[in-house]
Amino acid sequence: MNSTLSILLASFTTPIDIPTDPKAMMWMFPLLLAIVIVYKATKLRVIFPKKFIREVTLLFLTISVFMILAGVALNVFVALLTRS
Amino acid sequence: MAKRSDMDHGLLLLIVALLAWAVPGAGHFFIKERRRAYIIFITIAALFLIGLYVGSIAVIDPVGAWPWYVGQMLASPAVAIFGHATRSGGLESFGKPHDVGQIYTAIAGGLNLLCILSAVFMAHSGRGEIIGSEEDE
């Protein structure tokens, strides 16, 4: 029991390895999900589980798609600028 | 039902705000918004713990990164315990994991501020008890 607890606590004293590459951008999605969940939890008048899940999914997908499109547009813009 | 005095009402709002700061979701729980409270607690606690796991508790740095520390402290006053631990030394975190951990924990604090304001507003307008009973039905 004590060794399990020690291992658990030790895992919070050493950072995990995240390379600086495009895949690191994926870390924004859990953050976005948490923001959407808390926003909807404070915004909806009454929390009904089905409605809540539907609203969270819709907002999460909408913002995700917008951010992906913005990322693609910025990449294309930079590629056009640096080509010449 | 007797109307609460202004002082009672102010005290209620203060208690709700302090509870909501001490434990994310506790303010909503106190005003009988149980579902909202569970969702807020699980989400903010998970976000904060993921941040600590990714960047280690060294991301809580009251000396070298105090503006971030202010944001992190909004998640709970208990964060000061981690701040005390990292101040006294030995733990270090750099690069991407540090950035991700810092952002996650500070955003968790920012989200809790939103929840504190939400709980206080609901307590002020009396919505908590009304909506809480609607959810129970």
pLDDT at B1: 43
Q: pLDDT tens for residues A62-81?
A: 999 999 999 999 999 999 99
pTM: 0.87
Around Cβ B134, how many Cβ atoms within 10 Å?
Answer: 12
Please name the member of B39, B101, B134 whose beta carbon is closest to the beta carbon of A37. Answer: B39
- Position A60 in a domain: yes
- Position A8 in a domain: no
- Position A58 in a domain: yes
Q: How far apart are CA B31 and CA A12, in angstroms?
A: 34
Domain range for residue A35?
Answer: 26-84
Q: How far apart are CA B23 and CA A10, in angstroms?
A: 24
pLDDT at B89: 67
B-chain CB neighbours of A52 within 8 Å are: 39
**Residue ranges of chain A whose pLDDT lies below 50:** none
Establish if B58 touches chain A: CB-CB under 8 angstroms: yes
- Position A75 in a domain: yes
Q: List, in sequence order, the alpha helices (H) in chain B.
A: 6-22, 26-30, 34-55, 66-73, 79-87, 95-125, 127-136
A-chain CB neighbours of B57 within 8 Å are: 12-13
Establish if A25 touches chain B: CB-CB under 8 angstroms: no
pLDDT at A50: 94
- Position A14 in a domain: no
- Position A12 in a domain: no
pLDDT at A16: 84
List per-block mean pLDDT (blocks of 10 residues) for chain B, which spans 137 residues.
69 95 95 94 96 89 88 93 78 81 95 96 82 64
Whether residues B93 and A15 touch (CB distance < 8 A) is answered with yes
Query: Residues B132, B33: contact at Cβ < 8 Å?
Result: yes
- Position A36 in a domain: yes
Establish if B134 touches chain A: CB-CB under 8 angstroms: yes
Tell me how close the Cα of B5 comes to any Cα of chain A, in angstroms. 27
| Angle subtended by helix axes B66-73 and B95-125, to nearest 10 | 40
pLDDT at B137: 62
Q: What's the total number of domains in chain A? A: 1
Establish if B102 touches chain A: CB-CB under 8 angstroms: no
